[in-house]
Amino acid sequence: MTVGLFIPCYVNQFYPGAAIATLQLLEKLGVNVAFPPNQTCCGQPMANSGFEHLTQGCNDLIIKDFAKYDYIVCPSGSCVLHIKEHIHSEKEPVKAASVSHKIYELVEFLTDVLKVENLNAHFPYKVGVHQSCHGQRGLKLSQMTELVEPDFSKPLQLLNMVKELEIIPLDRKDECCGFGGTFCVAEEAVSVKMGKDRIADHVSHGAEYITGADMSCLMHMEGILRRQGSKTKVVHIAEILNAEKV
């Protein structure tokens, strides 16, 4: 099995640690991982701003880079959801559909495809889990509080395998952080207020780290935490799952 690793553009540029952890974690689990060097972006920033019609170049590039792999794995629920729902190609419809089917967000790839049951991971901190909306409500990584359905959580399933990690409870376990792509600048006031409120929930419950499966939400919250001079940090879930005892 060869997995094509899709690293979101901003993660590549700003959060290489999350990308490295994703790669190392997959390799540790015996997966053969390839990283096509020509990749750029899923096209979501344009599409969510109403410019989906300009994203064909991104679609074509993804198809060209990734259609050949057995699976495509990406450490961002938001990018995965976007590709899953919107990738299309008039020239290569079959390949476009195959990309849509075989792309997985990292967490769901670990729980659903690799069916990971234990991890050699160690993270002795109090951690708050941020449910990023596109991963949760879009990819259904966890049950949503709005629905009258049985509870489950794929991120928690994995985090529970990490030694000495303590999950803190939250008052609002799946409220949006307010990042929202270009929303974060177009609606700056509300975006920041949402972020502050999310952070306050984590901090008041003693979180030393806020983690999640989407770096964009974490980047937004990190921006506010650092401005506040808070001691609480953000960390991508891959970095926790890949953290070994030193």
Partner 1 sequence: MSTQTKDHAELAEIFNKDEARVNWHDETLWWVRQKRDKAAHQIPEWELLRETASQIKNNVLSNLNNYLVQFEAQAKANGVTVHWAANAEEHNQIVHSLLTKHGIDRMVKSKSMLTEECHLNEYLSQHGIEVIDSDLGERIVQLADEPPSHIVLPCIHKKKEEIGELFHKHLGTPKGNADPQFLTETARQHLRETFLTRKAALTGVNFAIAETGEFVVCTNEGNADMGAHLADIHIASMGIEKIIPQRKHLSVFLRLLTRSATGQPITTYSSHFKKPRSGQEMHLILVDNQRTVQLGRKDFRNSLKCIRCAACMNTCPVYRRSGGHSYHTAIAGPIGSILAPNLDMRKFADLPFASTLCGSCSNVCPVKINIHEQLYKWRQVLVKEGYVGTTKKLGMQAMTLTLSSPGFFKTAGKVGRFVMKYAPFAVSNPLNPWYKQREMPAPPKESFGEWYQKNRNHAK
Question: Which positions from 27 through 86 interact with partner 1, judged by CB under 8 A?
Answer: 34-35, 37-41, 43, 45-58, 60-61
For residues 44-80, one letter each, b for 16 or more C-beta atoms within 10 angstroms of the residue's C-beta and e for the rest, the string is bbbbeeeebeebeebbbbbbebbbebebbbbbbbbbb
Minimum Å distance from CB 115 to partner 1? 26
Q: Phi and psi at residue 213, in whole multiples of 5°?
A: -100, 10
Span interacting with partner 1, options 19-27, 118-126, 155-163, 235-243, rule CB under 8 A? 19-27
Q: Quick check: 88 and 21 in contact, CB under 8 A?
A: no
Exactly one of 12, 28, 122, 233 binds partner 1 (CB under 8 A); that residue is: 12
Minimum Å distance from CB 97 to partner 1? 20
Minimum Å distance from CB 231 to partner 1? 14
Minimum Å distance from CB 5 to partner 1? 9
Residue 226 engages partner 1 in binding (rule: CB under 8 A) = yes
Minimum Å distance from CB 22 to partner 1? 9
If the CB atoms of residues 62 and 127 are measured against partner 1, the closer one turns out to be 62
Of 70, 44, 12, the C-alpha closest to 132 is 44
d(CA 88, CA 96): 5
Binding residues for partner 1, total number by CB under 8 A:
77
If the CB atoms of residues 165 and 209 are measured against partner 1, the closer one turns out to be 209
Minimum Å distance from CB 166 to partner 1? 26
Residue 20 engages partner 1 in binding (rule: CB under 8 A) = yes
Q: Which of residues 133-192 bind partner 1 (CB under 8 A)?
A: 133-134, 137-138, 144-149, 172, 174-176, 178-192
d(CA 145, CA 143): 7
- Cα dihedral 86/212/73/22 (nearest 10): 150
Cβ neighbour number for residue 235 with a 10 Å cutoff: 23
If the CB atoms of residues 168 and 176 are measured against partner 1, the closer one turns out to be 176
Cβ neighbour number for residue 181 with a 10 Å cutoff: 17
Residue 219 engages partner 1 in binding (rule: CB under 8 A) = yes
Give, in order, the Cα–Cα distances in Å from 151 to each of 139, 158, 194.
15, 15, 25
Residue 14 engages partner 1 in binding (rule: CB under 8 A) = yes
Q: Between helices 56-66 and 93-102, what is the axis angle to 10°?
A: 70
If the CB atoms of residues 161 and 223 are measured against partner 1, the closer one turns out to be 223
Q: Which of residues 104-133 bind partner 1 (CB under 8 A)?
A: 133
